[in-house]
Structure 1
Amino acid sequence: MISNQKAFTLIEMLIVLLIISVLIILIVPNLSGKTKDVNTKGCDALVAVVQAQVESYALDNGVFPHSLQSLVTEEYITEKQLYCGNKGDRPLRYDAEKGRVLPPSDR
């Protein structure tokens, strides 16, 4: 008895795999190129948050904090918020005279 089953041929499967491979080759570099942009924007947002806490400290105490560590001690920010990135190797900078929080120097 001959069965009339429909299935994909080897050629059709190879063509589908080729198309998927081409799509992956086009999409993956675009995703990896955005990592730096995301990290930069995340760091900028962190600087803005810490700057707001510096100003809040100044309103509460009448002076700018002597260092960002003072904000941690007074529980305005957490220890993690002193650094950009997940590794903790890019500390934020702080100008105590002007009360300005600055991004890490590697930018």
Structure 2
Amino acid sequence: MRNNKGFTLIEMLIVLAVISILLILFIPNLANKSENINEQGCDALLKMAENQLIAYELDNGSEPTELEDLVSEDYLETLECSNGAKIIAYSTDGELAVLENDAS
């Protein structure tokens, strides 16, 4: 009697098919989650920038001439969102907003 210890070709193909189907189902969902995380990170950076702008005004008695002053005086580390596609800037109405980064 032969003792077969191993997988047959059919068993291996079935396992590969199942793994492939799972990857096809989960990878698009992970990409959507990444986009959502980046948006939430930009929103959090915007709120932090608004608070640090107030702190700058309290410390110096006036608004900064440019938002880069917040970075240069260590109120913020950066004005760019983590993916670099968006940046914190003054909008057309003079409020802080998340805008597309022209440099990227």
TM-score computed with the length of structure 1 as normaliser: 0.76
Q: CA RMSD in A?
A: 2.3
Name the structure 2 match of 1:36: 35
Superposed displacement of residue 11, structure 1: 0.9
Name the structure 1 match of 2:57: 58
One-letter amino acid of the structure 1 residue matched with residue 81 of structure 2: C
Measure, in 2, the Cα distance between the counterparts of 1:58 and 1:19. Answer: 59
1:83 paired with 2:80, answer yes
Q: Output aligned runs, 1:1-20, within 5 Å.
A: 3-20=2-19
| Equivalent residue in structure 1 for 2:99, among 85, 104, 107 | 104
Q: Is the 8 A contact 2:38 2:83 kept in 1?
A: no
Measure, in 1, the Cα distance between the counterparts of 2:48 and 2:98. Answer: 12
TM-score computed with the length of structure 2 as normaliser: 0.78
Deviations 1:34-67 (A, max 9, x none): 2221111111111111112111111112222222
